[in-house]
């Protein structure tokens, strides 16, 4: 199972005493330790380093580690310009980019983003899928695009990504509709179900949808977004993760873990949780590290490497 990590780009993870420029060193250390990927979050509702800016900064200072978004919200960006930016990051990284996308969720993390972006909330999933189709058309050299939301009789020459056809596109989400769309149209799946059994069921639905669409089910990467805190015991881990959840979501850990995958406690307890997701079919885990500052994030990075990456140094 490949292990990746989220960069702590949110201001709550490095302010007030931290310097976000230290994220460059964090990324380099993750590559040195042998992590498979570095992912970034996307939002307008919490202060953070803009994700594609962060990846562009990382592309020339790393060599092997994958770079990803989890999940990018296309609604925040004009689609043609976003395609150019993503192709540019893929070029600068030598083809190391993976783009996981999402459509947002009801409540405080959904509608306000659409209002700020002046994009209708209604039919957001159809708009997301069409935006992805437009990106692929641009990356493949299309000269026109006809869709419900985006209609271009003439497209200009687009920046070609490093890889023909562009970077892999994953979908975040675990509703029945999202599972069907993942299997039909996407290259990977990045959910965060709190129960490994739900992950296994969802992955089965993704693969069945792929088969029905005439695709190879094995071509859809089964990934997992999981919150991780390694500590001396479960009580100490929960205390920090609760503060982390409040700082990032305004919600206590007890509410977050009802909707998101969480692995916390001793190394053995965290390994047991990750093992259950591996048994359910996850093959690329992206861990969001629970720590309240950059020093704590760096410490968690070392602990996760010691637990999951044999031979890390």
Model confidence over 126-163: pLDDT tens digits? 999 999 999 999 999 999 999 999 999 999 999 999 99
- Which of 19, 14, 20, 58 is closest to 39 using CA atoms? 58
Place of tokens 């302010």: 15
Q: Is residue 67 part of a domain?
A: yes
Q: Is residue 86 part of a domain?
A: yes
pLDDT above 70 for 107 = no
Question: Could you list the residue range(s) of the whole structural domain that residue 274 is in?
Answer: 2-308
| pLDDT value of residue 311 | 79
Strand spans (E) along the chain: 2-6, 37-40, 66-72, 97-101, 145-146, 151-152, 169-171, 188-189, 221-230, 261-265, 284-289
pLDDT above 90 for 110 = no
Burial class (CB in 10 A: 0-12, 13-18, 19+), 121: middle
Per the CB < 8 A criterion, the answer to whether 76 and 85 are in contact is no
Q: Is the sign of the CA dihedral 139, 142, 146, 152 positive or negative?
A: positive
| pLDDT value of residue 108 | 65
Angle of CA points 1, 240, 288, to nearest 5°: 30
Q: Is residue 77 part of a domain?
A: yes
Query: How far apart, in whole angstroms, are the C-alpha atoms of residue 81 and residue 250?
Result: 32
Q: Is residue 121 part of a domain?
A: yes
Angle of CA points 59, 36, 211, to nearest 5°: 105
pTM for this prediction: 0.96
Q: Is residue 231 part of a domain?
A: yes
Angle of CA points 87, 36, 308, to nearest 5°: 160
Task: Read off the pLDDT of residues 70-91 as tens digits, 9 standing for 90 and up.
Answer: 999 998 899 999 999 999 999 9
Q: Is residue 68 part of a domain?
A: yes
| pLDDT value of residue 109 | 66
Q: What is the CATH number of the domain that holds 55?
A: 3.20.20.30
| pLDDT value of residue 13 | 87
Structure tokens at 119: 């994009």
Q: Is residue 313 part of a domain?
A: no
Mean pLDDT for all residues in the chain: 95
Q: Is residue 224 part of a domain?
A: yes
Count how many domains the chain has: 1
Task: Read off the pLDDT of residues 159-187 as tens digits, 9 standing for 90 and up.
Answer: 999 999 999 999 999 999 999 999 999 99
Q: What is the mean pLDDT of residues 287-297?
A: 95
pLDDT band at residue 106 under the 50/70/90 scheme? low
């Amino acid at each position: 199972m490949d292990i990746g990590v989220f960069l702590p780009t949110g201001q709550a993870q490095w302010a007030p005493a931290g310097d976000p420029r230290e994220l460059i060193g964090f990324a380099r250390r993750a590559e040195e330790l042998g992590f498979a990927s570095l992912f970034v979050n996307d939002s307008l509702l919490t202060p953070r380093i803009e994700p594609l800016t962060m990846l562009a900064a990382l592309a020339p200072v790393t060599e092997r580690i994958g770079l990803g978004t989890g999940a990018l919200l296309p609604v925040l960006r004009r689609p043609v310009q976003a395609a150019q930016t993503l192709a540019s990051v893929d070029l600068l990284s030598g083809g190391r980019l993976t783009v996981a996308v999402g459509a947002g969720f009801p409540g405080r993390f959904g509608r306000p983003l659409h209002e700020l972006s002046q994009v209708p909330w209604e039919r957001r999933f159809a708009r997301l899928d069409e935006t992805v189709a437009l990106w692929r058309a641009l990356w493949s050299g299309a000269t026109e695009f006809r869709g419900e939301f985006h209609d271009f009789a003439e497209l200009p020459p687009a920046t070609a990504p490093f890889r023909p056809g562009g970077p892999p596109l994953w979908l975040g989400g675990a509703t029945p509709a999202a599972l069907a769309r993942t299997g039909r149209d996407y290259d990977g799946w990045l959910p965060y179900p709190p129960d490994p059994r739900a992950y296994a069921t969802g992955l089965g639905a993704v693969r069945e949808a792929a088969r029905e669409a005439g695709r190879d089910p094995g071509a859809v990467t089964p990934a997992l977004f999981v919150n991780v805190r390694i500590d001396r015991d479960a009580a100490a881990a929960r205390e920090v993760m609760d503060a982390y959840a409040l700082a990032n979501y305004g919600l206590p850990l007890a509410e977050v873990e009802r909707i998101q995958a969480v692995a916390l406690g001793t190394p053995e307890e965290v390994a047991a949780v990750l093992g259950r997701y591996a048994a359910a079919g996850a093959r690329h885990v992206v861990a969001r590290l629970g720590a309240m500052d950059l020093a704590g994030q760096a410490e968690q990075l070392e602990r996760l490497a010691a637990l999951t990456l044999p031979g890390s140094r």
